[in-house]
Amino acid sequence: MKIGMAVLIHERPDYLNLCLNSLFTTELYDYDVTFLLNDDGSKDPRVKLLMDEPRDKKYKIHRNFTSKGTNNAGQAINKAIDYLDTIGSVDNIGW
């Protein structure tokens, strides 16, 4: 089973740092997970630095930067799901 996991990002670098460090110390066992770090127009430069931070090669990570849309969570989710669809087939998508 292939899993696509979108991490929706907009600003809040301190929280993002904790989130990513926790996420990328997770044991994946035999799961086939592709992570998408999807930034929806953050202006704080620390966000990009955290997203671009090198991670263990065992994690399949894609990074996507988009311009800020309306303040609508659904739009950010749709952008992330659309991007996951372009990078390969997945059986399940979560965010």
- The confidence score (pLDDT) of residue 15 equals 93
pLDDT at 18: 94
> What pLDDT sits at residue 90?
81
Give the domain extent around 18.
Answer: 2-94
Per-residue model confidence (pLDDT) at position 53: 94
Q: How many structural domains does the chain have?
A: 1
DSSP readout, the chain?
-EEEEEEEE-S-HHHHHHHHHHHTTS--TT-EEEEEEEEES---HHHHHHHHS---TTSEEEEEEE---SS-HHHHHHHHHHHHHHS---SEEE-
Predicted confidence pLDDT, tens digits, the chain (95 residues): 889 999 999 999 999 999 999 999 988 888 899 999 999 889 999 999 999 999 998 899 999 998 877 767 788 888 888 888 888 778 888 88
